[in-house]
């Protein structure tokens, strides 16, 4: 009798251990990790792009997962910092060598958002999507008049002529502006070259539309900035087809969402990578659609 009790107890223990293990796995990795068969990954790139790490980690996982046959870049972003946008674009290009990559443009996929889309072999857009904005912006604030009003002097000791370019404590000189304009022009040329090569558009044609202006998806199609009009579902079906999936593809989303428990835990830490950034605190060059708040 005692042996039967131990056996039953052991089975009950193993059953609950299995249930708890599954629950923990779902909490950490999401229930999408249990989807069987061939899959299409959807990498959601939303909001202003100031850090590429979470996207690069997702792309690495997608590349290593043999059950993922293709990727859709679902972009709903006005752009962001130059470096992160270029990093995601470069990794998308690398992934294209082993798996089909399709870009789907949402309500806004402009500037750095469009730059990333150029890493895909095909770009789909909605007719009313706001895209384009091929350009670079850098904004500087001067406190000179405020300091004068407050009768506050600021002394700066620097190692070189341009070391404090963009400082809010003084106005920019003409030499400063010329120096920064050269930097911006160089980064702008990198953007134009990426579009020209990826979209197979002559540089002279790119020059005509790379003054920062925006386009609708319909206009972008006419300018060859996108390949066709279509929804995210159209992009998923196309990716699945190019990936060799004959039936309706299973979908796995990235970046992975954490459970409420982990959200609560992370919210206790004041870390910019987890809690978000303020553009007002950022210095740098941006592939960013400049929308007034």
How many angstroms separate the first and last alpha carbons of the chain? 74
- What are the residues whose beta carbons fall under 8 Å from the beta carbon of 62, sequence distance 6 or more? 41, 43, 68, 71, 95, 99, 254
DSSP string spanning 225-292? Answer: SSSEE--HHHHHHHHHHHTT--SSPEEEEESPPPPHHHHHHHTTS--HHHH---GGG--S-EEE----
Q: Which two tokens stand for residue 279?
A: 């553009």
The answer to whether the beta carbons of residues 105 and 131 sit under 8 Å apart is: yes
**Is residue 67 flagged as an active site residue?**
no
Count how many residues are written for the chain: 293
List the structure tokens of 210.
């790379």
Q: What is the DSSP string of 203-214?
A: HHHHHHH-SS-E
Q: Which of 52, 74, 111, 133 is catalytic?
A: 111
Beta strands in 83-150 (DSSP E): 101-110, 122-125, 130-132
Whether 142 is catalytic is: no
Asked whether the beta carbons of 168 and 142 are under 8 A apart, the reply is: yes
From 163, 177, 208, 257, active-site residue: 163
Per DSSP bridges, beta strands 214-216 and 130-132 are: antiparallel
Residue carrying the six token digits 């293990």: 21
Q: Which residues are catalytic?
A: 111, 163
């Amino acid at each position: 009798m005692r042996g039967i009790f131990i056996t039953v107890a052991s089975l009950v223990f193993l059953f609950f251990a299995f249930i708890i293990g599954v629950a923990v796995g779902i909490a950490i990795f999401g229930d999408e990790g249990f989807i069987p068969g061939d899959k299409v990954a959807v990498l959601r790139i939303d909001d202003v792009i100031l850090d590429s790490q979470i996207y690069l980690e997702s792309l690495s996982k997608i590349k290593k997962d043999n059950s993922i046959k293709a990727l859709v870049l679902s972009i709903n972003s006005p752009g962001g910092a130059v470096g992160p946008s270029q990093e995601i674009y470069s990794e998308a290009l690398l992934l294209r060598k082993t798996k089909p990559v399709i870009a789907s443009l949402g309500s806004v996929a402009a500037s750095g958002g469009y730059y990333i889309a150029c890493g895909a072999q095909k770009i789909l857009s909605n007719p009313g999507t706001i895209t384009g904005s091929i350009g670079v912006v850098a904004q500087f604030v001067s406190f000179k008049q405020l300091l004068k009003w407050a009768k506050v002097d600021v002394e700066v000791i620097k190692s070189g002529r341009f070391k404090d370019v963009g400082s809010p404590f003084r106005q920019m000189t003409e030499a400063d502006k010329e120096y920064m304009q050269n930097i911006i022009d160089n980064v702008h040329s990198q953007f134009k070259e990426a579009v020209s090569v990826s979209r197979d558009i002559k540089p002279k044609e790119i020059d005509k539309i790379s003054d920062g202006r925006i386009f609708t998806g319909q206009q972008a199609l006419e300018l060859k900035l996108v390949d066709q009009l279509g929804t995210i579902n159209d992009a998923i079906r196309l990716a699945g087809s190019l990936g060799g999936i004959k039936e309706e593809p299973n979908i796995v989303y990235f970046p992975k969402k954490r459970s409420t428990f982990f959200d609560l835990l992370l919210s206790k830490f004041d870390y910019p990578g987890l809690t978000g950034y303020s553009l007002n605190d950022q210095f740098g060059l941006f592939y960013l659609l400049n929308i007034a708040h």
